[in-house]
A and B are shown apart, each in its own frame.
Chain A
Amino acid sequence: MGRLVIEGLQTRNGGPFSFSVERGECVTLYGPSGCGKTLLLRAIADLDPAEGTVLLDGESRAGMTAPQWRKKVGWLAAESAWWFDRVGEHFPMVGKVNGDFPDVWKKRIQCLEQLGFGEEVLGWRIERMSTGEKQRLALFRLLLNEPQVLLLDEPTAALDPTNVFVMEKVIGEFRRSTGAAVVWVSHDPEQVQRVADHSLKFNGSRLEAAE
């Protein structure tokens, strides 16, 4: 599932951009600050108005509602936002039945454990979490939608090396097991080396293939 095709997408400060990401492929984007990487991801997620065509498995996003599109094409912001008091309230239908998690959630708890959390994290208060913890849980929250495309905006910028590794591993496993396409904005050339199948770089307001 998930071949993302972008044709002539015009964002507020650049474009037109055209590129495609195959099923299960990871494409990294890099370029100087302010070159429009974030705006490009937001335009793909349909969070900003943008001219152009975006297709998922040949199906245009114009043919579905914006919420349907965004469930399939998940955007992870550089800075995560939380609005309820406790972590668990942000996840749909979480809770124990007869003292145990339902089967769906057992698999999800494994994912939480991979990200370095026990199930007690569900009861944590938002204000006690560090930026890095919030970012890892924001990834978990996004993966609950089982998106077919991941749009990651510097997902590991605020993390220490151990957690960077953990995030890369979880994203990589999700990509391989579900065949999701990944667009990954990164500042770190070594990270690009580690995760990218292809790499695109911004040249002014255009994208070109990096070596």
Chain B
Amino acid sequence: MNGIVLLSPVDLSLAALLVIALALVSRRLELKIGGRLLISALRMVIQLSLIGIVLKALFSSGAPGWVALMALVMLLTAGREVRARQKYRLRGLWGFNIGLGAMFVSSFAVSVLALTAVVRADPWYAPRYAIPLLGMLLGNTMNGVAIASNSLTQAVHAQRTVIETRLALGQTKCEAMADLRRESIRTGLIPIINSMAAAGVVSLPGMMTGQILAGNPPGDAVKYQILIMFLIAAGTGFGTLAAVWVTACRLFDERDRLRLDRLER
């Protein structure tokens, strides 16, 4: 087989019909998620179409300034996305910056490490490697950070009396929060652990599938996928740890008092 089967707009519309059908069913069931489903689907189509154009331009220019700008836009959007998924968020810039900082430290550090030490493209910031790698890392780290922070703040809200009782008995904020912190970090890491465990047996990861569909030898695709999985696990793990750690600290003040007034809905 040479070349790949090209998809026409009609082919894509057929697939889109499935999502519309799902939205209709959710509306019947009054799940109140049909609207968000359609908006996200629409966003996905527009964003991906635009990014196709942007990437084409970026790959042909290859200037480091543009790569950095692209990376920055991706990071800020991921930060906004994390914030939007929180039921309770920290007031002011903290709510935005913690997620952002965690993702910056983990995704960026891991990407740069992988690009310079593992992939060794020339130059190391070559957009063909840098942007997709960062994109996959950010996408997964974002999920981990969002899920873990959300689970932490919700648990703190629900277990306020437990935390304050523990504080009243003379425990420090770290002792009083140990269980909740552990639990929310675990919640944030479960998706990546599951996807590593299921990779190749239950699921064929998207990137690898894409490469195979594009006609690359499966052996090479597998190696890249293994690299990506490691990077994602590390990025998500460290990002989630950092976000939960800082959020947990910020929920207390210097006298180890629980400060739920620093959260807003």
- Using a CB–CB distance below 8 Å, which chain A residues touch chain B? 45-49, 65-68, 70-71, 74-75, 77, 79-83, 138, 141-142, 145
Q: How many A-B residue pairs lie within 8 Å, measured between CB atoms? A: 53
Among A47, A49, A66, which residue has its beta carbon within 8 angstroms of that of B164? A47
Contacts of B168 in A (CB 8 A): 45, 47, 70, 74-75, 77
User: Bound state CA distance, A77 and B165, in angstroms?
Assistant: 8
Q: How far is the CA of A82 from the CA of B166 in the complex (A)?
A: 9
Enumerate chain A residues within 8 angstroms of B170, measured Cβ to Cβ: 67-68, 70-71, 145
Mind listing 30 A-B residue pairs with CB under 8 Å? A46-B257, A47-B164, A47-B168, A47-B258, A49-B253, A49-B255, A65-B172, A65-B256, A66-B255, A66-B256, A67-B170, A67-B171, A67-B172, A67-B256, A71-B170, A74-B168, A74-B169, A75-B168, A77-B161, A77-B164, A77-B168, A80-B165, A81-B162, A81-B165, A83-B159, A83-B162, A138-B165, A141-B169, A142-B169, A145-B170
Q: In the complex, what residue of chain B is closest to A141 when comparing beta carbons?
A: B169
The answer on a CB contact under 8 Å between A48 and B162 is: no
Total count of chain B residues near the partner, CB < 8 A: 18
- Answer yes or no: B11 CB below 8 A from chain A CBs: no
CA distance A48 to B164 in the complex (A): 10
A20 to B162, CA, bound (A): 29
Q: Flag whether B167 is at the interface (Cβ < 8 A).
A: yes
Residue interface mask B241-265, A partner, CB < 8 A = 1: 0000000000001011110000000
Q: Using known A-B contacts A49-B253, A49-B257, determine if residue A83 contacts B179 with beta carbons closer than 8 Å.
A: yes
Shortest CB–CB separation between residue A206 and chain B, in angstroms? 25
Q: Is the CB of B255 within 8 A of A46?
A: yes
Query: What residue in chain A is nearest B168 (Cβ atoms)?
Result: A75
Closest A-B pairs by Cβ, 7 of them = A71-B170, A81-B165, A66-B255, A66-B256, A81-B161, A75-B168, A81-B162
Q: Which residues of B contact A83 (CB under 8 A)?
A: 159, 162, 166, 179
Chain B's closest residue to A68 (CB) is B170
Nearest A residue (CB) for B180: A83
